[in-house]
Chains A and B, each alone.
Chain A
Amino acid sequence: MITGFIVLLVCQIIGDFAVRALDVPVPGPVVGMVMLFVVLQLRRPGRDSGVVRAADGLLRHLQLLFIPAGVGIIQYLPVLAGAWLPVAAGLVISWFAVLVVTAGAGVGTLQLERRFKRGDHAKGTP
């Protein structure tokens, strides 16, 4: 379990260091996540390995970890109240647009793939 936490932290440290050193606008933890994914692919740890237990433990309570930042909204309530219409509409409409467009693109691609496969299959059969 401790080893698992060390692995997670080391991935984050390397990620943080890399983005600072290269000055790219990507968060260190996201780079750390890509690194851990590569490590997992190479090492193929078992169910009860430290990394798996540490990661599962953190993810089980992922929602808890967003609370401190979320409470920070109270600092901006006066600013938000001043321009609530463009803010609320811009936020909700663009959020919904992304949801619909992404889902549409995903479902559309799946259907295209299915049609392609059926096409290949039809060609293959005499």
Chain B
Amino acid sequence: MNLQFAQAWTALLESPLFGITLTLIAYQAARTIWKRTRGHSLANPVLVAIILVAATLLIFQIPYDDYLVGAQYIGFLLGPATVALALPLYRQAANIRRAAWVVIACLVTGSVTAVIVAITVTKLLGGSDQLALSLAPKSTTTPVALALSESVGGIASLTAAFTIFTGILGAVAAPRQLTLLRVFDQRVRGLAIGMSSHGIGTSRALQDDPVAGAFSGLAMALNALVTAVVLPLLLATMPWMLTIQT
């Protein structure tokens, strides 16, 4: 009886059902909490759902790979969803065209700042070159961050963790910080969120305001293209960043 139970449990953990169901339950619970707290930033659904799933896996000592057997199908939808971000862009196309110079200014300053500040601060605090290079592309969307990290000598898997942390930070804190900075223009708010906090920030921006959501998606997409050029360029022209000693 006991053996049968153990076998059934193992079979369940190894089937896609487990990861998919756990993710959906955590997401729904997180949404309920988010509504109950009337949209409190710290109750951000992505953050809460990740904590719920991670806690479940750690408590029951379930390997992440077992969870991924099912969860990968949910993660897979991120591809078509990224393509779908063209829709808010299309709806705001006229608005975006009018703000072309603003978009360009945000892109150039934001992408350069991300790389320089991430590398210098990490090095100043005694981080290794590898750590600094793994942090450098973290404001871009996850697949770009991974590819860039590898190509400049960072550790891709660490970059994945940094990138997601950054996105969650943006989803939780960016709108409030922008309000404190007295930035009320929804276009600029969206651009700042997309530049700093890629897709996860964009999912929050879409929740807050359609204009901010569209500009955030735009910034995320363009930042991916620009950082792919800016990061290797800055490393080649400013090699002193990596020679900082503490």
Whether A87 sits at the interface, judged by CB under 8 Å, is yes
Are A106 and B224 in contact, with the CB atoms below 8 A? no
Tell whether B23 is near chain A: CB-to-CB under 8 Å.
Answer: yes
Partner of B88, one of A29, A59, A103: A59
Indicate if B126 sits at the interface (CB-CB under 8 A): yes
Q: Decide: B169 and A52 in contact? CB cutoff 8 A.
A: no
**What are the interface flags for B13-53 relative to A under an 8 Å C-beta threshold, 1 for contact and 0 otherwise?**
00000010001101100000000000000000110011001
Task: Check B177 against A76 for contact (C-beta < 8 Å).
Answer: no
Question: Is B235 on the interface with A (CB-CB < 8 A)?
Answer: no
Confirm or deny: A63 has a beta carbon within 8 angstroms of a beta carbon on chain B.
yes
Docked complex Cα distance between A70 and B121 (Å): 24
Tell me, in angstroms, the Cα distance from A76 to B64 when the chains sit together.
11
| Majority SS at the chain A contact face | helix
Which of B54, B67, B148, B192 is A102 in contact with, Cβ under 8 Å? B192
B93 touches A12 (CB 8 A): no
Determine if B114 and A109 form an interchain contact, defined as CB atoms under 8 angstroms apart.
no
Contact of A26 among B45, B50, B144, B188 (CB under 8 A): B144
Residues of A within 8 A of B178 (CB): 99, 103
* Bound complex: CA A25 to CA B204 (Å): 26
CB of B13, distance to nearest CB on chain A (Å):
15
B58 at the interface (CB under 8 A from A): yes
Within 8 A of B (CB), among A71-114: 71-76, 79-80, 83, 85-87, 89-110, 113
A122 contacts chain B at the CB level, 8 A cutoff = no
Determine whether the beta carbon of A70 is less than 8 Å from that of B158: no
B148–A8 CB distance below 8 A: no
With beta carbons under 8 angstroms apart, the residue of B83, B88, B110 that contacts A11 is: B83
Q: With A25-B147, A90-B135 in contact, is A66–B125 under 8 Å at CB?
A: no
Q: Is the CB of A30 within 8 A of B189?
A: no
Per a CB cutoff under 8 Å, which of A83, A103, A113 touches B127?
Answer: A83
| A27: min CB distance to chain B, Å | 4
- In the complex, besides A30-B221, A64-B49, 6 extra interface pairs with C-beta distance below 8 angstroms are A63-B46, A73-B50, A73-B165, A86-B122, A86-B127, A94-B114
Q: List 14 A-B contacts (CB under 8 A).
A: A26-B147, A26-B224, A37-B89, A51-B87, A55-B84, A62-B206, A65-B74, A70-B46, A70-B168, A71-B53, A71-B64, A92-B169, A102-B106, A113-B102
* Interface residues in chain B, defined as those with a beta carbon under 8 Å from any beta carbon in chain A: 19, 23-24, 26-27, 45-46, 49-50, 53-54, 57-58, 64, 67-68, 71-72, 74-75, 77-90, 93, 101-102, 105-106, 108-110, 113-114, 117-119, 121-123, 125-128, 131-132, 135, 138-139, 141-144, 147-148, 151, 157-158, 160-162, 164-171, 174, 177-178, 181, 183, 185, 187-189, 191-193, 195-197, 199-200, 202-204, 206-207, 219, 221, 224-225, 228
Interface residues of A, Cβ cutoff 8 Å to B: 5, 8-9, 11-12, 15, 24-30, 32-37, 39-41, 51-52, 54-56, 58-59, 61-76, 79-80, 83, 85-87, 89-110, 113
